[in-house]
Amino acid sequence: MSKKNKARWSLLPGIEPTPMDLKIMEAQEHGKLVPTRDLIKTPKQIEGIRKAGLLNTAVLDHVAEHIKEGMSTLEIDKLVYDFTTKHGGIPAPLNYCGFPNSCCTSINDVVCHGIPCDWEVLEEGDIINVDCTTIVDGYYADASRMFIIGNADAEAKKVVQVAWDCLKIGEKVCEQPYVYVGDTAKEITRLAHENGCTVVRDYCGHGVGVEFHEDPEMEHYGKKSRTGMLLVPGMTFTIEPMINLGDYECCNDEEDETGWIVLTEDGSLSAQWEHTYLMTENGVEILSH
């Protein structure tokens, strides 16, 4: 959804407005971007997304148990595919818009969308993001984790930690509903910059659940509060800041014929963590991590 297109939230005929209705309409009257009704998940949809989230988390737990130095990224991909399908799920990335594998494996200066292959082998000191999205009964959940292989240097450990801290501060902003995407972005940006890192601006989080990618666009870079979409109970979305040790600029890998792999422009290290969240009346619930 374009940020310039304001959703039209109206009361359902013959039904008394709920407190949520009133808060959304007040925000709309002030020119804020508000969700459409289809972004508010039903109880049935929430249970389906929660079930997908449980399997997606289990997949990443399985990777965590086996990932090690000397393993190829294609072996990681096989772990993901075999575990997911054995437990009744479908790896959402596989064949998605031409993506050839079941997960993304992004090492060191790869910002995102790293493609598993047999020649890319994990070495001592590498940092790697493994990003999985799982479909169960038509519902989606999405999460990624960073792994440090053996003894990494201080800079590698730093960017991994800062990325984690940025994820958690975005989550903390959502400890209550009716905050805005821009509120999370402002705090993520502040924390990254205070630690000498930058926030990738070309990619962001997203709504997820009924589809792989939905509204809202969960941007992670920003300096203004109360911008972006209003986050209300029933919405499901990811927070997934990509944090660079150097400049925020990214580029496509010229050697990658698929066009998927994204690198840091300056060759600096990049790290990312991602969770799927449900916004509730009491703040966010983690559905996959």
CATH number for domain 32-288, candidates 1.10.260.40, 3.20.20.60, 3.40.50.1360, 3.90.230.10: 3.90.230.10
Chain-centroid distance, C-alpha 187: 16
The helix, strand and coil proportions of the chain, stated in percent and rounded to the nearest 5, come to: 30, 25, 45
The structure's pTM equals: 0.95
Cα-flanking dihedrals φ and ψ of residue 65, to 5°? -70, -25
What is the C-alpha to C-alpha distance for residues 114 and 107, in angstroms, rounded to an integer? 7
What is the C-alpha to C-alpha distance for residues 253 and 68, in angstroms, rounded to an integer? 25
CB 235 within 8 A of CB 207: yes
Farthest CA pair distance, the chain: 64
DSSP H stretches of helix in the chain: 19-29, 43-66, 73-86, 154-173, 181-194
Predicted confidence pLDDT, tens digits, the chain (289 residues)? 334 445 578 777 888 899 999 999 999 999 999 999 999 999 999 999 999 999 999 999 999 999 999 999 999 999 999 999 999 999 999 999 999 999 999 999 999 999 999 999 999 999 999 999 999 999 999 999 999 999 999 999 999 999 999 999 999 999 999 999 999 999 999 999 999 999 999 999 999 999 999 999 999 999 999 999 999 999 999 999 999 999 999 999 998 989 999 999 999 999 999 999 999 999 999 999 9
Going from N- to C-terminal start, the domains of the chain cover 32-288
